[in-house]
């Protein structure tokens, strides 16, 4: 699949990884619908990217909201080639902490946003991609999901987060197998420590300390590097049903 001129839907695109993907798609000549809960930030991000970027406010946990957004994708872009799931939260919380045990609401919210939200967006995107005419390789679309290295080596305080991201890893292969007959690929990226808005808010010394934990390069990952991997996945049709760690060889310590 040629990355240039792709029609894309990106959740969590108002900032961070999702915004970097949108910027790369627009720079390559494509179009993108930015889907995010933060209406003000999302609208500003789309305006910054230019007329081929369109913002749609919505919630990844709300099925009707997603369906409305994908209807907008069909109307604005005429179809969909690429869906990138970047919406998510990463709040830490111990199973049994100083203030007591983890609440069911905390755990459910993490699963609902990170895992269920990814599944709902992917399902709606696949339904629209099935309407595409297949290219010369029989391909109709690509779904990229975002997990985390916490899915493999989650730290203390990441029980809920690791469960949500581990679920994304677990559904990658069966989703790819199911959608193969439609010519739709599914690939997951598991980033390490990236310079997202949450980490950018930390003092520079704290950012440097975190970056030094990465074997090489000893720094925080850049959202542009995530976007570059999305581009390579789009153009390499043999990448399917796989989770790719993007972490500079980092393996997280228990705490």
Helix (H, G, I), strand (E, B) or coil at 190: strand
Contact 83, 18 (CB under 8 A): no
**For 72-98, b where at least 16 C-beta lie within 10 A, e where not — what string?**
bbeeebeebbbbbbbbbebeebeeeee
**Sequence-ordered list of residues with C-beta below 8 angstroms from that of 204, at least 6 positions apart, any chain:** none
* 167 contact partners, CB below 8 Å, separation of at least 6: 111, 114, 115
- Strand-by-strand arrangement of the 141-146 sheet: 53-57, 31-36, 7-11, 82-85, 141-146, 184-191, 242-246
What is the C-alpha separation between 125 and 44, in angstroms, rounded?
Answer: 24
Among 9, 161, 194, 226, the one annotated catalytic: 161
- Which run of H or E residues covers position 8? strand 7-11
226 is catalytic: no
Q: Within its chain, how far is the Cα of 223 from the centroid? A: 11
Query: Do the beta carbons of residue 168 and residue 211 sit within 8 Å?
Result: no
Which residues have a catalytic role annotated? 161
């Amino acid at each position: 699949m040629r990355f240039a001129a792709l029609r894309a839907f990106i959740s969590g695109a108002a900032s961070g990884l999702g915004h970097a993907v949108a910027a790369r798609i627009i720079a390559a000549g494509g179009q993108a619908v930015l889907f995010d809960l933060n209406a003000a930030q999302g609208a500003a991000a789309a305006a910054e990217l230019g007329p081929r970027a369109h913002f749609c406010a919505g919630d990844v946990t709300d099925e009707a909201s997603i369906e409305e957004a994908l209807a907008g994708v069909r109307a604005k872009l005429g179809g969909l080639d690429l869906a990138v799931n970047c919406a998510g939260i990463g709040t830490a919380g111990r199973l049994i902490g100083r203030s007591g045990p983890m609440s069911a609401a905390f755990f459910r919210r993490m699963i609902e946003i990170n895992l269920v939200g990814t599944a709902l967006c992917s399902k709606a995107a696949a339904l629209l991609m099935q309407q595409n005419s297949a290219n010369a390789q029989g391909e109709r679309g690509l779904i990229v999901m975002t997990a985390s290295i916490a899915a493999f080596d989650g730290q203390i305080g990441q029980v809920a987060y690791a469960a949500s991201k581990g679920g994304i890893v677990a559904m990658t292969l069966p989703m790819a197998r199911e959608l193969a007959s439609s010519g739709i690929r599914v690939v997951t990226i598991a980033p390490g420590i990236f310079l997202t808005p949450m980490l950018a808010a930390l003092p520079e010394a704290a950012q440097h300390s975190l970056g030094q934990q990465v074997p090489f390069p000893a720094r925080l990952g850049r959202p542009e590097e995530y976007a570059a991997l999305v581009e390579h996945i789009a153009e390499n049709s043999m990448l399917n049903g796989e989770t790719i760690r993007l972490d500079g060889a980092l393996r997280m310590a228990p705490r």
